[in-house]
Amino acid sequence: MKQTKVAVAMSGGIDSSITALLLQEQGYDLVGITLRVWDYLSEGCQEKETGCCSMEAIFEAQAFAKKIGIPHYIVDVRNSFKEIVVTDFIDEYLNGHTPNPCVVCNPAIKWGEVIKKAEELGCEFIATGHYSQIAESNGRYYFTKAADTSKDQSYVLWKLPQEYIQKTLLPLGKFKKSEIKELALKRGFEKLAKKRESQEICFIPDDDYRNFLKKRVPELEAKVDGGVFISTSGSKLGTHKGYPFYTIGQRKGLNIALGKPAYVVAINKDTNQITLGGKEDLLQSKMTVSHLNFLKYESFEENKEYLVKIRYNSTPSACKIRTKETDIIEVEFTEPVGGVTPGQSAVFYESNDVVAGGIIQ
């Protein structure tokens, strides 16, 4: 019987490596694909390479593929990554928003480019090391939360189209992270099990997006420096370093003493004004969401209660949805929610299932 051929997206880390190992043990015919998305040196970065973008990670993925005896391919997607993911990242901050680059990267690069190469190699499916599960109902494919809810990544996968989800395998969705580490140890991959996981944005190794913006946008600092902090009533409180260097909910690094805790509650790019307020001023009862992608259903059901996450690590909030116009909805929270941030994703759930996602306006 012919084996099903699967391309595994390999980053060099434990999750994608064990994904390959599990699928191999299940009898799939595997090839490994690693994307080269960023080059620190050519981009003028002096920081030490870290995470899945580094050459070290690429070599580790290559070495693991060789160790388990599967072909491995490196695909150079640096130009596409720069044009799509990095450009969007910069543009969003210049628009006064706070972007999530993984949400942009997943459909365009991590799936789009891997599927393209997989099809060239005659693969029927691709597999990744994401912690989520895939379900199908009435001909529609959608993500559902991972068994390890503390590692669940369904939030960042909402933008994937149906045809990509249909071609995807997610073996880790049924495991706890601790089980994956234990499995790596049992199979003799101790170094992999103990490898530190990168938490920062992959193309910003020092985790300083402000410095990244300054390097990528000439004269940005000079153009936006000297903006004004204002209170929720409109009175001037002081000056700041420029609106792109702040995000909704930010408390640290404001460099202003008001005698009480202050948070960024609004950003106005047109006036270069940052509104500061108390924690209570972050609470909102409504938000507008656009750029919708539907997964479990083709549309929302009016007056039905859904759960929505507005940040990767946020607690889901109950809400109802009203369609304003094509591809734009108004979301009304059952209880006011803090930290609603333009540019971030709003992901809607029915129990553990992803119904749809969009971008907060």
Q: Mapping DSSP to helix (H, G, I), strand (E, B) and coil, where does residue 18 land?
A: helix
CA-to-CA separations, 210 to 47, 94, 98, 245, 283, in angstroms, rounded? 15, 11, 12, 6, 26
At 19, the amino acid letter reads T
DSSP letter at 329 equals: E
Q: Where are the alpha helices (DSSP H) in the chain?
A: 14-25, 55-68, 78-81, 87-94, 101-105, 112-120, 162-166, 177-186, 190-193, 209-216, 220-224
Give a three-class secondary structure readout of 121-161: CCCCEEECCCCCEEEEECCEEEEECCCCCCCCCHHHHCCCC
Is residue 319 annotated as part of the catalytic site, yes or no? no
Cβ–Cβ under 8 Å, residues 262 and 230: no
Residue whose entry in the numeric block shows the structure tokens 């992901």: 347
Instruction: Respond yes or no: is residue 45 known to be catalytic.
Output: no
45, 52, 105, 123: the active-site residue: 105
C-alpha span between 361 and 356 (Å, rounded): 16
Q: Considering the candidates 53, 123, 202, 319, report the single residue annotated as catalytic.
A: 202
Q: Which two tokens stand for residue 50?
A: 């870290």
Question: Is residue 331 exposed (0-12), middle (13-18) or buried (19+ Cβ within 10 Å)?
Answer: buried
**Active-site amino acid positions:** 105, 202
